């Protein structure tokens, strides 16, 4: 069994075509360029079919999009690069949302070269954190500065909060 969750083909089709529930997105975040986080073709199609959505991602993701997508020029103005130096964060305001993008060390030593972003998004006073592939044992000083307690997932990559979250 694959330990990484991937959307089924029906969901991928909805994403690519910008159909409900992916038809009214403001922002898309990509934490790193690995295939379990990002597909340049699907992301490009989503952006082509949803002309208001903006992509926030590290430079390595942008590089992959430039290489692998023929339509990059059509969407490049809506791509926002967020790649602060290690253990630092960038504060962005995009579409009225406050976003802190933090360059967090990847959980696997062999992936030290990977630009792995964690994001804190402030939505009307409610902060949502996405850790990318960061290691909860890392105790990254950047993340501690912006979110003192931040890991909900477990070491085995399960996430108990998924049992309680329903998106309509």
Q: One digit per residue, pLDDT tens: the chain, 168 residues?
A: 455 567 889 998 999 999 999 999 999 998 877 666 788 899 999 999 999 999 999 999 999 999 999 999 999 999 999 988 777 788 999 999 999 888 877 665 665 666 788 888 888 888 888 777 776 555 455 555 555 444 444 445 444 444 433 333
d(CA 164, CA 130): 17
d(CA 134, CA 132): 6
Query: Nearest Cα to 25, choosing from 98, 104, 102, 94?
Result: 94
Note the pLDDT of residue 132: 74
d(CA 84, CA 1): 35
How many Cβ atoms are within 10 Å of 37's Cβ, its own excluded? 18
Any idea of the CA torsion for 99, 150, 145, 78, to the nearest 10 degrees? Answer: -20
Question: What crossing angle do the helices spanning 9-16 and 40-49 adopt, rounded to 10°?
Answer: 50
Note the pLDDT of residue 137: 58
Query: Nearest Cα to 58, choosing from 126, 110, 113?
Result: 113
Any idea of the CA torsion for 6, 11, 12, 18, to the nearest 10 degrees? Answer: -140
Note the pLDDT of residue 64: 93
Note the pLDDT of residue 148: 47
Note the pLDDT of residue 54: 97
Note the pLDDT of residue 117: 82
């Amino acid at each position: 069994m694959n330990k990484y969750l991937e959307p089924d083909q029906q969901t991928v089709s909805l994403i690519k075509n910008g159909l409900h529930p992916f038809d009214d997105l403001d922002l898309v975040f990509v934490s790193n360029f690995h295939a379990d986080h990002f597909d340049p073709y699907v992301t490009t199609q989503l952006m082509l079919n949803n002309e208001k959505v903006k992509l926030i991602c590290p430079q390595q993701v942008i590089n992959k999009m430039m290489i692998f997508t023929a339509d990059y020029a059509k969407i490049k103005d809506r791509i926002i690069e967020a790649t602060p130096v290690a253990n630092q964060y960038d504060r962005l305001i995009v579409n009225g949302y406050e976003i802190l993008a933090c360059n967090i060390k990847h959980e696997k030593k062999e992936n030290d070269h990977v630009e792995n972003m964690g994001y804190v998004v402030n939505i009307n006073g409610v902060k949502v954190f996405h850790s990318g592939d960061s290691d909860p044992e890392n105790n990254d000083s950047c993340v501690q500065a912006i979110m003192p307690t931040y890991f909900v997932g477990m070491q085995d990559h399960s996430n108990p909060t998924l049992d309680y979250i329903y998106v309509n």
